[in-house]
Amino acid sequence: MKYKLHVNGKKRSVDVAPMKRLLDTLREELALTGTKEGCGEGECGACTVLVDGAPVNSCLVPTCQADGCDVQTVEGLARAGGKQAARLHRLQRAFLDNGAAQCGICTPGMLMAALALPRGASLEQIREGLAGNLCRCTGYMKIYDAVAQFLGGERA
Amino acid sequence: MSKKKRRGSRAGGGKRDSGKRDSRTRDTGKRDSGTRDSRTRDGNTRGELRTVGHNVVRAEGVEKVTGAARYIDDLRFDGMLFGATLRSTIAAGRIVGIDRDPAFDWSGFTFVDHRDIAAPGKNVVAMITEDQPFLAVDRVRHQAEPIALVAHADRARLADGLAHVTVRYEAEKPQLDFESAATVLKELAIRRGDVDAVFARAGVTVVEGTYRTGAQEQLYIECNGVIAMPGAANPDDGGVTVYGSMQCPYYVVRALRVLTGLDTDKVRVVQTTTGGGFGGKEEYPSILAGHAVLLARKSGRPVKMVYERHEDLVATTKRHPSIIRHRTALAKDGTILAIDIDLRLDGGAYVTLSPVVLSRAAIHATGPYRADAVRIRGRVVMTNTPPNGAFRGFGAPQSQFAAEVHMDRIAGQLALDPIELRKKNLFRTGDVTATGQQLKDSVAAHDVLDRALARHALVTRDRSSAKPAKKGDAIVQPHNGAARGTGVALFFHGSGFTGGGEVKLASRAGIALTRDGVRLLVGSTEIGQGTRTMHAQIVAESLEIPYECVETADPDTAKVPDSGPTVASRTCMVVGKILQRAAARLRAELGEYDDEKSFKKRARWLLAERGTVEIIEEYEKPGDIVWNDETYEGDAYGAYAWGCNIADVEIDPITYQERCTQFTTANDIGKAIHPILAEGQIEGGTLQGIGWALYEEVVMRDGKMQNASLTNYIIPTTLDTPPIAVEIVEHPYGNGPFGAKGVGECPIDGPAAAIVNAIRAATGKRLDAVPATAERIMKLITGGEART
């Protein structure tokens, strides 16, 4: 089946089985491997992307459900040529400055989940908002620091 | 981005540092004195450390925050197949036959079983003992043991292929309980003084206790995975290349050499960006790489094998469960006179690294306390469960859990204050450990206790909602608010391999000169802990060049020397020191330079002179370390890291759900090369310890993990995580780079005991086991009856 997705501001069309996971469509059809798989059952949040602005576990979303939707992935954050630190999104910069990325496998999902949080979010709101994203390296403290710095809120 | 701007960002890091003091207090006065000491020792000529001790930008950070970093599952090669594993469905028995359904269309499939491993190759995973096959031959010893492999270009067809292979077994009765297991994989004893004579003395108080800990899954968020392809230097050279998520590329090289019979230069292993390890990618990747290599060699194609979470959980190693018995003889005033410990670990079905885990567990079993008479007997036994293996802490979290919960039992029995009891017995400089090691340098047990207590008083005053109850006062009052308690734990952790281990490893690491700086040639892996950044800082500081002038070679065994495994809290202290020595030699060869510009001029001159400039150094044992592996006596480790944890918990009176409300940790690591990375290690290790203490339970039935998914194997989420207050303490170690010791493992040694001691303070009842799940707490309080 053919589906139209609006991925990181670009129109993309894919021809996949309706139930193909959005995660696999992004990684395999569109070569956007920044979005990671950690569990395949919606528990770890490593595959978090924004669909029409809302954070979802892309391992639980069939591609057909995202048809016609706006999809944002980690690759869309930095400006083009995004390998250079100068063009990083402010949230990415905050993750770097605060040591919020260690092994980095949860980082893309964590970034996308944090993007959906309101400006000035309290520490409690940050904890609540990231509760669906597991990190095994950091103990979360540095992630709170980074997200709070980005949102201009209270630090851990 | 210009060089100038980058240097600016480093200065910014320094600025941030000062801002950080409010939220994460670090005693800067202390740090400065450490800096002075290390400067003198390292012979640095300028007035201050410019890179070490500063929060430089993480070496591979940009790739990780942009999604550009390539993990194993992000890689694809032309013609690549996907592999899958057929695993045992019984815990013990004989294999009578492996039958492939003749009616099934096998075209496009590659099938491998033990018959595909031919001389000079050997069907044995080379580790300590050659007892574990890559693929089972005529018997299986545990559930999920690999028996056969299939590969296909279409990942979706693998399950179909596996479903058409039948293994016929003659099942045997498995030994699943490790307390009654009779087969001993390894036994050891540590003896100091005459323990029996002290226990027989009149007037001594004897306190006994038995403690249990459960298995724990490392739960790196990236599952184990590799890609194997034919060819080492080129596709037709008969060799093999493996890309993969791993901690120890040279362990994999050795395992593949034995499996294939190929020479070392025909086996190339490349570590890809690795999404967490924690020990879980120390030995296991050797097996997985072997499987992928068998399929790649048979099919002549690249083969990717990446586990899904369920398979990773049922098949790979866990932390060893333990039962530890303590018997302590004390004087009336609480002075420890003799310690007698018996510890038993569940090794699972094969030896893997269990003897070394046992050794580290035993050496740390007294906790950081002195006694003139010590006897520690340890054994690791075989059961028909998947092999247990390396996990951050490597036996020390288990044995120090027992030691620290036992200290609270002693305090209770002698009616002494638990802090005073600890202070009376804690190691001081000059004291002697169980193995007879005199502690000469960098002993911080008292300091971490004082610093943790002071910090805890501060944070709990600030957080009135988490105000702890007075120790032992609070008893669970049904329907009358939460019960609260505070617990403490002290611990230590030896950095590097035990005893003569580092000498045997003979690790090598070095530096290559480039036109614009240097390239590190090091086999240590970046697995999230910051290896690349920290090593680059050590070398930049030693050469007195900007951090940005240091790059790191790919972790490819064709390009970098064997720096030993990335384990055992050795990568900074041991490998960092080797790099520091290489830098000193390079500096001598470069001659005089006084800034970046003149350094580059000298570098280009030397390169023009010699073509290439590579300096490789090998580990050198500090002269004062003496160890006897036969008697288990001597200097077990060059240096120890020290820690103190204080946990506040509350327990819901209706559901018995316990919650850690505040966690304070003081950790002596010698020198924080990169304070933010070091804090990250401490916070992350602490939270893994809290998870082990409260939530993480591997439920086994018939020798198989029953809760093999993230839905019901629970690791802490943000909402389960208490505020973690970190105090970094810096007692420099003379033989570490800039005074640094190990940091990675020590933080996980304490949390479980601190939390269980806090539960005792909250409830008045003693739980001698982890995980302390709500079910266990309910049983503890009600005696097993659910209250109505």
What is the tens place of the pLDDT at every residue in B31-43?
Answer: 333 333 333 334 4
Q: What is the mean pLDDT of residues B420-436?
A: 98
CB B142 within 8 A of CB B389: no
Contact, B750 vs B643, CB < 8 A?
Answer: yes
- Residue given tokens 């391992």 in the structure block: A59
Give the helix ranges, DSSP H, for B261-394: 284-299, 309-315, 354-363
Residues B309, A107: C-beta atoms closer than 8 Å: no
pLDDT digits (tens, 9 = 90+) for B308-361: 999 999 999 999 999 999 999 999 999 999 999 999 999 999 999 999 999 999
CB contact under 8 A, B721 and A139: yes
Q: What is the pLDDT of residue B33?
A: 34
Give which of B387, B642, B346 is closest to B494, Cα–Cα. B642
The pLDDT of B377-398, averaged and rounded, is 98
Is the CB of B683 inside 8 Å of chain A's CB atoms? Answer: yes
Distances (CA, A) of B425 to B372, B397, B640: 11, 20, 17
pLDDT at position B572, please?
Answer: 98
Beta strand pairing status for B205-213 and B769-770? parallel
How much is the pLDDT for B470?
40
Q: d(Cα B514, Cα B521) in Å, to the nearest integer?
A: 12
* b (16+ CB within 10 A) / e for B550-582: bebbebebeebbbbbbbbbbbbbbbbbbbbbbb
Within 10 A of B348 (CB to CB), how many other CB atoms are there?
28
Compute the C-alpha angle B65/B66/B71, nearest 5°.
85
* Best to test chain A binding among B526, B718, B721, B727 (most A CBs inside 10 Å): B718
State which H helix or E strand residue B406 sits in. Answer: helix B396-414
The DSSP secondary-structure symbol of B170 reads E
pLDDT at B35: 35
The pLDDT score that the predictor gives to residue B460 is 75
Measure the CA–CA gap between A68 and A5, rounded to whole angstroms. 5
- In percent, how much of chain B has pLDDT > 90? 88
C-alpha closest to that of B305 among B419, B134, B457, B187: B134
Supply the mean pLDDT for chain B: 92
Tell me: the pLDDT tens digits for B521-540? Answer: 999 999 999 999 999 999 99
Identity of the residue in A78, A140, A155 whose CB atom sits nearest the CB atom of B66? A78
Q: What is the pLDDT of residues A19-30, one digit of tens each?
A: 999 999 999 999
Average pLDDT, chain A: 94
Among chain A residues, the shortest Cα distance to B14 is held by: A97
Distance (Å, rounded) from C-alpha B257 to C-alpha B296?
15
Stretch B127-142: mean pLDDT, rounded? 97
The predicted pLDDT at position B748 comes to: 98
Q: Of B591, B584, B535, which is closest to residue B560 (Cα–Cα)?
A: B535
Name beta bridge partners: B634.
Answer: B627
Which of A58, A122, A137, A145 should be substituted to probe chain B, the one whose Cβ sees the most B Cβ atoms within 10 Å?
Answer: A137
B130: which 2 tokens?
A: 């050659």
pLDDT of residue B42: 44
Q: How far apart are CA B162 and CA B299, in angstroms?
A: 17
Using an 8 Å Cβ cutoff, are B297 and B260 in contact? Answer: yes
pLDDT tens figures, B219-275: 999 999 999 999 999 999 999 999 999 999 999 999 999 999 999 999 999 999 999
Query: pLDDT (tens digit, 9 = 90+) per residue, B647-672?
Result: 999 999 889 999 999 999 999 999 99
How many angstroms away from the CA of A23 is the closest CA of chain B? 12
**At B272, which amino acid appears?**
T
Of B2 and B216, more confident: B216
Distance, in Å, from the CA atom of B17 to the CA atom of A49, rounded to the nearest integer, reads 32
Model confidence at B387: pLDDT above 90: yes
Model pLDDT for residues A58-117, shown as the tens digit of each residue: 999 999 999 999 999 999 999 865 455 558 999 999 999 999 999 999 999 999 999 999
Whether the pLDDT of residue B295 is over 60: the answer is yes
Distance from CA of B220 to the nearest CA of A (A): 6
- Residue B783: the pLDDT is 82
Q: Are B627 and B635 within 8 A, CB to CB?
A: yes
| Segment A38-43 mean pLDDT | 98
B467 has pLDDT over 60: no
* Residue B650, H or E segment: strand B640-651
Whether the per-residue pLDDT at B477 is higher than 80: the answer is no
Q: Does the pLDDT value for residue B292 go beyond 70?
A: yes
At B405, which helix (H) or strand (E)? helix B396-414
* Rounded Cα–Cα distance for residues B71 and B274 (Å): 6
Mean pLDDT throughout B145-166? 98
pTM of the complete model: 0.93
> Where residue B553 falls among pLDDT bands split at 50, 70, 90?
very high
Count CB atoms within 10 A of the CB of residue B471: 20
A73 vs B275: CB contact, 8 Å cut-off?
Answer: no
- Per-residue confidence at B459, pLDDT binned at 50, 70, 90? confident
Residue B784 pLDDT class (50, 70, 90 cuts): low
Percent of chain B with pLDDT over 70: 91
SS (H, E, C) B414-436: HCCCHHHHHHHHECCCCCECCCC
| CA angle (B666 as vertex; B660, B668 as ends), nearest 5 | 145
Q: Report, as an integer, the average pLDDT of B495-519.
A: 96
Check residue A33 and give its pLDDT. Answer: 98
CA of A98: which chain B residue's CA is closest? B676
pLDDT tier at B465, thresholds 50, 70, 90? very low
Three-state secondary structure call for residue B285:
helix
**pLDDT number for residue B314:** 98
Task: Note the pLDDT of residue B16.
Answer: 35
- Crossing angle for the helix pair B418-425 and B396-414, to the nearest 10 degrees: 120
Q: Nearest to residue A77, comparing CAs of A63, A59, A103, A96?
A: A96
pLDDT reading at B478 higher than 50: no
* pLDDT score for B505: 97
3-state SS, residue B249? helix
pLDDT (mean) for B419-443: 97
The pLDDT confidence band at residue B785, using thresholds 50, 70 and 90, is low
CA atoms of B404 and B401, how far apart (whole Å): 5
Structure confidence by residue, pLDDT tens digits, B78-110: 999 999 999 999 999 999 999 999 999 999 999
CA distance B259 to B246: 18
